[in-house]
Amino acid sequence: MRTVSKIRIYSVKTVYIFFIGKQQSYAERAIQAIQEPLLKRMVAQELKTGVTSVEWSEDFHNIVSKVNELWQRNPPDILTGSPKVLKKTDLLFEGTRVRVKLDEPISVLGNKLHGKFRTGDIRWNPNIRVIKKMILSPEQPPTYLLNGPHGRLGISRCAYTRKELQVVPINEKPPPDSVIRGQPERFVPEQILRHRIRKGQHQYLVKWK
C-alpha cells in the first residue's frame, strides 16, 4: 500500500512524498524532519536581510537524501498513542483571537527591552492574532497555528501550546482616558475611518485607542 503525504512550504510549492508499506505517521515524521532545517535556514536569512525568504528548493533535495539515508540505517520510533487532551484541557478553536506569550520583555510599542522581565512589564504581545488551525499529534498536547505572513494560507511558521496563548475577551475594552496624566503629545491610532484630499493635503479621520 502506498501512502501519500504533502509537504507545503508556505505557498512556494507543494511537494509529494511517497511511502511504500509505511504508516502515515512515517510521512508526518518525514515532513517534520525536512521542514525543520529548511525553516531554520530561512529564518536565519531573514534575520540577516530583513526580507522574507522563499529560497528553499536548492536545499530541499539534499535534505531529503540525508533523511532517507539516515532512516535506512536507523528507522525512527513512531508515536501511536492518542493526543494528550485531558478533561480539563481548554481547547481553542479556529477564529479565536489570542495574544502570544513573550519570550523576552518589550515595551507596549514593541521595542525590545534589555534584561529580564520586571514587575509591571507586559507579559503578552499586545498584537492580537487569530488561530488558523489546531494540530493534534500522537502523545502530544494540542498546538495552534496563528495567522502570519507566510504562504497563501497566511499562517505562522511555529505552533503554540495553550499555555503560550492568552484568549482575548469578546468584550475587551481599551483603558479609560482617566489613566492619562499630563498632556501627551502622541496617541496610538486604532483605525483610519475616512480619508480625503483637500487643497492637495491628505486628511484622515482617525479612531484613537
pLDDT of residue 15: 44
Asked if 142 contacts 136 with a C-beta cutoff of 8 angstroms, the reply is yes
Q: What's the Cα-to-Cα distance from 15 to each of 75, 150, 181, rounded to whole Å?
A: 22, 17, 57
CA atoms within 13 A on the CB side of 106: 14
Q: pLDDT by residue (tens digit) across 83-127?
A: 666 667 778 889 999 999 988 888 777 778 788 888 878 899 888
Query: What is the per-residue pLDDT for 36?
Result: 78
10: left (phi over 0), alpha (psi -120 to 50) or beta: left
Nearest to 92 by CA among 138, 148, 145, 139: 145
- The per-residue pLDDT for range 137-174, each reduced to its tens digit, is 766 788 888 988 766 667 777 888 889 999 999 888 87
Query: Can you give the pLDDT at residue 18?
Result: 43
The rounded distance, in Å, linking the Cα atoms of 72 and 65 is 11
Radius of gyration of the chain (CA): 23
